[in-house]
Structure 1
Amino acid sequence: MKKVIHKADTRGEANFGWLNSRHTFSFGQYYNPDRIQFGLLRVLNDDIVIGGAGFPTHPHDNMEIISIPLKGALAHRDSTGTEKVINTGEVQIMSAGSGLTHSEYNASKNDEVNFLQIWVFPKEKDIKPRYDQKEFHASERKDRFQTVVSPSDDHALWINQDAYFSLADLASGNTIEYTTNQHGNGVYIFVLEGQIEVADSTLSRRDAIGISDAELISISAAEDTELLVIEVPMN
């Protein structure tokens, strides 16, 4: 087993007034040569946007982009003609493919929105751009993994990569095991809330650990905990 730990307070930070963003990996003005990516996971930004503000229309290509609202809602518009609101409890995925433009704004004029913006390198380049979103009920991840993004699970959002995103809500004192879906994939565990013990390490809110060369990972909750697990190819 190989592991790398990224503590919450070691993340990069960008504060523009309307946006306060914490960057797990190098992004924008934050550059750390030791924090470029984990396997094919390239970006994990923890964004807080004030009411009425957001990201104006901008381009992307050849990237799988996942947004997960943790509090509040996002208003999305893109050049495929999609115009949606993504609420807490939903997950959004966009395959930028051969190229598109999009905007993401706080759907509220008054309340903050906190969401995760995650980028994964695609498996196939220059595909037709696509968009999807889906609601996932918290009751289905109590002390078990709920797959929300997958290349093969019909109940999850499809991704153009051999990558899997799972959520889990663990009660204090409980242990759960994660088994990789594909040989050689690595697993990046991001603690949304709470505290866990994993791979002889203690992780708290917004801490993360990347584990490779392991197909079975045991995670124990030291308190009530919410997790995001991202499984990606390592090359």
Structure 2
Amino acid sequence: MIEIRRSAQRGEAHFGWLHARHSFSFGGYFDPQQVGFSDLLVINDDRIQGGTGFGMHPHRDMEIFTYILEGALAHQDSMGQSSVIRPGDVQMMSAGTGVRHSEFNASATELVHLLQIWIVPDRKGVPPRYHERHFDAADKRGRLRLIISPDEAEGSLPVYQDVRVYAGLFDGDEAQTLTLAPERYAYVHVARGSLELNGQRLHAGDGARIRHEQVLTFGQGQQAEVLLFDLRPNELPVM
């Protein structure tokens, strides 16, 4: 079963410096039908104006990763990490026992567009950690490239959870079929463009909850960038 939620159905927040769309309940947006899916808790589609951003703030016991679509984001944290990430870069932070971080647009004038995603960890109280890696567009072209996994397979970033995240770019006749293990769930988020998933058209900002479907076929893309989450068969995140 594939349950599609269209982009316009997402939550929305405007703060002048920030325009955010929320796939799941977050901040001032709450929908009891949209409180995460399996261990996937948050997908925030953020556009941050030049010279602005999120000041230093705390997290604990959460897996947080950032996927850059456009522009550049300056990161600093209480672990001593400092970097600027750009399209193709993925940043993974395990908050563990506690971490503080800031995320600012690295440009004074240009927009930065990103996805910030939260995954509920399978353990609490671990030392915080930070990883960052670049995944070339060529490595995602016409295929689903593993970018996050619990065992760092294929050079992916580590996560404290039984979840695997893939990123892909699809245009024209480019296509790939992925087979999930029996009883697994999945979630698909279209970051931009459009493509077909098992014959159903998805557009930028659309999401799809997937249950009891083992074979997923992506194709007929129009400048599409997509994320796929291979998840445990839980209905709601376990906090």
Residue 163 of structure 1 is matched in structure 2 by: 163
Residue 178 of structure 1 is matched in structure 2 by: 178
Once the two structures are superposed, the pairs formed by residues 121-132 of structure 1 within 5 Å of their partners are 121-132=120-131
Residue 65 of structure 1 is matched in structure 2 by: 64
User: 1:167 Cα shift?
Assistant: 1.0
Instruction: Tell me the distance in 2 between the aligned counterparts of 1:185 and 1:3.
Output: 13
Q: Aligned pair 1:98/2:94, yes or no?
A: no
8 Å CA contact retained: 2:77, 2:102:
yes
Once the two structures are superposed, the pairs formed by residues 119-158 of structure 1 within 5 Å of their partners are 119-152=118-151, 153-158=153-158
8 Å CA contact retained: 1:63, 1:119:
yes
Residue 43 of structure 2 is matched in structure 1 by: 44
Matched AA of 1:44: I
User: 1:7 Cα shift?
Assistant: 0.4
Matched AA of 1:171: D
- Look up the SS of the partner of 2:172 in the other structure: coil
- Look up the SS of the partner of 1:56 in the other structure: strand
User: 1:222 Cα shift?
Assistant: 4.7
User: 1:90 Cα shift?
Assistant: 0.3
Per-residue Cα deviation, 1:179-223 (whole angstroms, up to 9, x for no partner): 22x543311111122222224522112211110222221222253
User: 1:229 Cα shift?
Assistant: 1.0
Matched AA of 2:7: A
- Which range is displaced more, 161-170 or 127-136? 161-170
User: 1:154 Cα shift?
Assistant: 4.7
Residue 237 of structure 2 is matched in structure 1 by: none
8 Å CA contact retained: 1:173, 1:223:
no
User: 1:45 Cα shift?
Assistant: 0.4
8 Å CA contact retained: 1:75, 1:85:
yes
Structure 1 residues 204 and 52 mapped into 2: Cα distance closer, same or farther (>3 Å)? Answer: same
Identity %: 37
Unmatched tracts of structure 1, length 5 or more: none
Aligned residues: 233
Structure 1 residues 140 and 222 mapped into 2: Cα distance closer, same or farther (>3 Å)? Answer: closer
8 Å CA contact retained: 1:93, 1:157:
yes
Residue 113 of structure 1 is matched in structure 2 by: 112
Instruction: Tell me the distance in 2 between the aligned counterparts of 1:83 and 1:194.
Output: 31
User: 1:225 Cα shift?
Assistant: 2.1
Instruction: Tell me the distance in 2 between the aligned counterparts of 1:158 and 1:197.
Output: 29
Matched AA of 2:23: T
Once the two structures are superposed, the pairs formed by residues 180-219 of structure 1 within 5 Å of their partners are 180=180, 182-219=181-218
User: 1:141 Cα shift?
Assistant: 1.4
8 Å CA contact retained: 2:10, 2:24:
yes
Using the size of structure 2 for normalisation, the TM-score is 0.93
Structure 1 stretches of at least 4 aligned residues deviating more than 3 Å after TM superposition:
none
Instruction: Tell me the distance in 1 between the aligned counterparts of 2:140 and 2:198.
Output: 22
Instruction: Tell me the distance in 2 between the aligned counterparts of 1:234 and 1:57.
Output: 35
- Look up the SS of the partner of 2:225 in the other structure: strand
- Which range is displaced more, 158-167 or 196-205? 196-205
Using the size of structure 1 for normalisation, the TM-score is 0.94
Instruction: Tell me the distance in 2 between the aligned counterparts of 1:234 and 1:103.
Output: 33
